[in-house]
Structure 1
């Protein structure tokens, strides 16, 4: 009989064991501590996560393998092999929920194809936390990942998303590399109609958490929070 693939959420930023306890329920931490096989984007940060969890066995005895954007598709089966042989495993992401905007989704899909039981656990999702706190439409929304880096292409894509939002009354959610956050906000404010709502959610679940929703017109009038190199989620809703 094959083992179980547990999807174990991570914190949304750096922190100690006390910080981990603030965002992960005790049953999740207990299951995470009991596993002897882990798959994560980076072996070093996965072990750092396990150190905060407090494992039942020495960390050096826990097998950790990597699954990230550089993993060849053919390696997925090898990652699944110990689970098919009966070992329970934990899948973790660099931050937040595994398999959501995360390469771990490939492993989860293959697990279903091979009849492996997949168990998702409760934990912080920056996408959903930002949506919850934005005041925007939570009945219809779309996550669009990263937008184009080129300024002209980014503006074009934002106009497309604003038009879609207006037509479908749908919240559009996206992210940016932290050092380009300010450029993203500037493009949003310059591109969107004055009445379009724009939300910026920064450092979610962290001590510096800041969530601000304003119209594009109000963003032009009021000071923006400091965004440089801070993890942020952007949302818009056009009327």
Structure 2
């Protein structure tokens, strides 16, 4: 294992701001040293690498694409360079790899292959939103996407509200950006008036908006969230 390459989990930006405004210099140094990458989208990955290290040779990059179309057989070969002493970088489309991200499958594979996993520091919209929400940061759950079906979504929101109260647990979830406004409308209509709701969108960007209020207060304070990456959090005391 000591002669194996490592799997580096390399965070990316949450939006189109200068990389080193939100990423530590260690990210730049790591990208300078690595030519093998596993990414969700080759075009955006190459653009990100070029923004971080403009002098890096693009033809030298060896990129494997990990998405819903990647077969298990293909995915299982992505870390083979590590077996010959070559390190590999795992990039997310936004934020931290393997957090609400398909990269978790690669990390699991690395452990199975006895390859050292090295997580690097960078922005996570989930944790940044929780930090700024004023809600319980010692007991929380990330629920991914809520159901699209109206009845199922209503049931899920009521269930999360009940759990948050019974277990003193903050509930975090996301939505496809073009449905953000509808989700907030549903939350206002379905949740109890005193349930706290946090909306955190465009995190780390100049247009960043983070606000926590009761469901009742949100009725009189609507922010246009359409097509803006957002995190939603609720907590009933």
TM over 0.5: yes
TM-score grouping bracket, smaller chain normalisation = over 0.9
Deviation of residue 86 (structure 1)? 1.5
Partner of 2:63: 64
Partner of 2:157: 158
Partner of 2:191: 192
Deviation of residue 56 (structure 1)? 5.5
Task: Say whether the 8 Å CA contact 1:33–1:55 is kept in structure 2.
Answer: no
Q: CA RMSD in A?
A: 1.0
1:131 aligns to 2:133 (yes or no): no
Partner of 2:210: 211
Task: Say whether the 8 Å CA contact 1:32–1:55 is kept in structure 2.
Answer: no
Instruction: Report the TM-score when normalising by structure 2.
Output: 0.96
Structure 1 segment 42-191 matched on structure 2, within 5 A: 42-54=41-53, 57-191=56-190
> How many pairs were matched up?
235
Residues of 1 paired with 2:133 and 2:72: CA distance?
Answer: 37
Cα distance per residue 1:196-230 (max 9 Å; x no partner) = 0000001000010000100011111x222110000
Residues of 2 paired with 1:56 and 1:64: CA distance?
Answer: 18
Residues of 2 paired with 1:194 and 1:57: CA distance?
Answer: 54
Question: What residue ranges of structure 1 are gaps of 5+ in the alignment?
Answer: none
Which of 10, 13, 20 lines up with 1:11 in the alignment?
13
Cα distance per residue 1:53-86 (max 9 Å; x no partner) = 1165411211011112222222222101112221
Runs of 4+ with deviation above 4 angstroms:
none
SS of the residue 1:79 aligns to: coil
Structure 1 segment 10-29 matched on structure 2, within 5 A: 10-15=12-17, 19-29=18-28
Cα distance per residue 1:28-68 (max 9 Å; x no partner) = 21112221101100111110111111165411211011112
Residues of 2 paired with 1:70 and 1:107: CA distance?
Answer: 15
Task: Say whether the 8 Å CA contact 1:97–1:125 is kept in structure 2.
Answer: yes
Question: What residue ranges of structure 2 are gaps of 5+ in the alignment?
Answer: none
Residues of 2 paired with 1:64 and 1:56: CA distance?
Answer: 18
Task: Say whether the 8 Å CA contact 2:12–2:96 is kept in structure 1.
Answer: yes
